[in-house]
Structure 1
Amino acid sequence: MTDGITIIGNTNIDVVVADTRDLPEPGTERVVSSVSLRLGGSAGNFAVRCAGLDFPTTLVSRVGDDTSVMVLEAELRLPSLQARLLRTAGEPSGITIAVEAPGRDRAFISSLGAMASMTPDDITEDMLSSRYVALAGYFLLPGMRGPASAELFGRAGLSGARTVLDTGWPPEGWTPATRQEVLSALALVDIFLPNDDELHGLMDDGNTERAARRLSVTTNTLVAVKMGARGAGLASPDGGWSAQPAARVDVVDSTGAGDGFNAAFLVSAARGAVWPDALASGVGYATEMVATAPERRAAVVLPTATLS
């Protein structure tokens, strides 16, 4: 087993539209302050952040055979990152349009493209020989949901890896069937990384601490909850709870902050930090990320107190 992480999931191009609270009326046009093209997808961003922290990282994603793959390959060319982009002939890659505006949460419109055909058969045994095996963007990977995720996590557990899940938001909403699906998946997951909205939807409970404690105890899974400007919380299977507030900063761009938290949290733990200290590292790193322009984020490092 290698001392690193394998991240399996969605990697695509993001088209980020700024300053848009709603769409223009049909037949009209609106000028916004910026429209940018960048690497997107929970798995892709998660992997870049891990590799940027000098942690050996393998990214596995299914893509199409269109020109966007060349952009992805260029963005993923990092010293600590091995990007295994599995091409599907005759299919487009996934793409996401992210709409942002001050004072409101981001909204996303996604086309799955080739990522819809990803299955556990794409994952070879050598990809699972890492300290952590993470599945990110779960709800955008129909071929990896339900029993397929159980197969993947079961194989990863047998290889000695700690299993990690970041689901994102279900396009169908938190129906009873969706809740049961995720709860069943968590039976084979060591670390769950939801944000508070996802946790509330999963548990049908708007109290973050109570929902996280109950989920952790019933599934025997460590639950690290991202709470935006309020920081993050950590629930353990023994019923414990710790919270880490975030410092106040001027937010430049919040896109990718959750993926940054995931990376810093796991990398800190892998380097010897106890879980509450890893939580503080994740919050500190994500907070500095949102206060930093995307093109300068490579310079963001872990808080020195958590480095080994």
Structure 2
Amino acid sequence: MTRRIVVVGSINMDLVTQAPRFPQPGETLLGDGFVTVPGGKGANQAVAAARLGAEVALVGALGRDAFGDQLQAGLLGEGVDLQHVQRLDDQASGTASITVAAGENQIVVVPAANAGVTPAHVEAAHAALARADAVLVQMEIPLEAIEATLRLGQRLGVPVILNPAPARPLPTDWLTLARYLTPNQHELAVLLGADPAEDFRALMRRAPTPVVLTRGSEGAWYREHGEPAHQPSFAVEVVDSTGAGDTFNAALAVFLHEGLATAVRKACAAAALSVTRLGAQQGMPRARELDAFLAR
């Protein structure tokens, strides 16, 4: 059965520079290449879920500019339903300036039209959320829209996965509305107002809702009840880690009906595949690729 996923989040054009290393403050480096590629955590997760075989609707906003036209065309080409993506006349489309060096990245995001996503936009997508198997929301859109998504999901009885990136403190009652939190260790500490150096398993136990914690090359840890369990990562050659977390979240949502342990394993595998290619969306695997990778 095709899974139905709704993603509420950002849509950006990524301006990606490849460099031999990250520059120091005030330093100018000669880069190795430059490309513009579709991005934004919301759009990334929507594309990843669609490639994994889900029926996906995206709630977000674009400017009426050239980047907006390109981003819209790309999402439609991936089969994402854009009925609830607004085109704003008074805003540019969001951008992310990304420097990639030695498989790592540094990112500066300018939200632009993404800052125009409102609770009214979320409520307008009521019917789409009502028929969804899972909802994904991140934190590159206004807090009011995030709260509206969490509260609407609870009213409808639809599981909402909150990917708290970039991390900001949130009220505890908001966190309890999410079915799962999917932070890394730093993000979880920010959410809980804790020391990032505290043991991550202790942080997971303190969270007011179940946590799936990503740990980079170590894989992921997850906890619903009792002690956190570990899912190791899959060994691959890293080309570009941009979009790995978004791929992880999308796969988690798509396979959640198979049980949390299976969903986390498939999410780790999908994320591993995604880092073997340059670009956030370009590297995201299709269902047949994931199946073949897991079979090996």
Question: What TM-score does the superposition give when structure 2 sets the normalisation length?
Answer: 0.87
Q: Do structure 1's residue 244 and structure 2's residue 219 form an aligned pair?
A: no
Equivalent residues of 1:281, 1:303 under 8 A apart: no
C-alpha displacement at 1:94, in angstroms? 1.1
Matches within 5 A, 1:1-308: 3-19=3-19, 20-22=21-23, 25=26, 30-78=29-77, 80-83=79-82, 84-102=84-102, 105-123=104-122, 124=124, 125-129=126-130, 130-136=132-138, 138=139, 140-142=140-142, 144-145=143-144, 148-170=145-167, 178-179=168-169, 181-203=170-192, 204-205=194-195, 206=197, 207-215=199-207, 219=208, 221-236=209-224, 238-270=225-257, 273-294=258-279, 295=282, 297-299=284-286, 301-303=289-291
C-alpha displacement at 1:58, in angstroms? 0.4
Structure 2: distance between partners of 1:99 and 1:81? 28
Equivalent residues of 1:98, 1:109 under 8 A apart: yes
Structure 1: distance between partners of 2:161 and 2:4? 13
Equivalent residues of 2:4, 2:54 under 8 A apart: yes
Equivalent residues of 2:136, 2:253 under 8 A apart: no
C-alpha displacement at 1:213, in angstroms? 2.0
Residues 1:109 and 1:150: Cα distance change in structure 2 (over 3 Å): closer
Structure 1: distance between partners of 2:23 and 2:205? 37
C-alpha displacement at 1:252, in angstroms? 0.9
Equivalent residues of 2:273, 2:283 under 8 A apart: no
Percent sequence identity is: 26
Q: What is aligned with 1:174?
A: none
Structure 1: distance between partners of 2:277 and 2:18? 16
Structure 2: distance between partners of 1:256 and 1:160? 29
C-alpha displacement at 1:244, in angstroms? 0.8
> What are the superposed Cα offsets for residues 73-108 of structure 1, whole Å, 9 maximum, x if unpaired?
2221246421242011121111110122116x4222
C-alpha displacement at 1:201, in angstroms? 3.1
Equivalent residues of 2:137, 2:162 under 8 A apart: yes
C-alpha displacement at 1:184, in angstroms? 3.2
Structure 2: distance between partners of 1:296 and 1:111? 23
Structure with the bigger RCO (C-alpha within 8 Å, sep 6+) is 2
Residues 1:306 and 1:120: Cα distance change in structure 2 (over 3 Å): farther
| Structure 1, unaligned runs of 5 or more | 171-177
Structure 1: distance between partners of 2:176 and 2:129? 18
Equivalent residues of 1:131, 1:160 under 8 A apart: no
Residues 1:132 and 1:31: Cα distance change in structure 2 (over 3 Å): same
Structure 1: distance between partners of 2:171 and 2:240? 30
Equivalent residues of 1:277, 1:306 under 8 A apart: no
Structure 2: distance between partners of 1:261 and 1:169? 16
Structure 1: distance between partners of 2:286 and 2:70? 22
Structure 2: distance between partners of 1:38 and 1:94? 12
Structure 2 counterpart of 1:275, which letter? Answer: L
C-alpha displacement at 1:263, in angstroms? 1.3
C-alpha displacement at 1:277, in angstroms? 1.5
Structure 2 counterpart of 1:68, which letter? Answer: F
Q: Say which is worse superposed, 106-115 or 150-159, in terms of deviation.
A: 150-159
Structure 2: distance between partners of 1:299 and 1:149? 28
Equivalent residues of 2:58, 2:80 under 8 A apart: yes
Q: Say which is worse superposed, 205-214 or 296-305, in terms of deviation.
A: 296-305
Question: What TM-score does the superposition give when structure 1 sets the normalisation length?
Answer: 0.84
Superposition RMSD on alpha carbons, in Å? 2.4
> What are the superposed Cα offsets for residues 182-224 of structure 1, whole Å, 9 maximum, x if unpaired?
5332121111111222123333243122211221xxx2x2211
For 2:76, what is the secondary structure of its paired residue?
A: coil
Structure 2 counterpart of 1:199, which letter? Answer: L
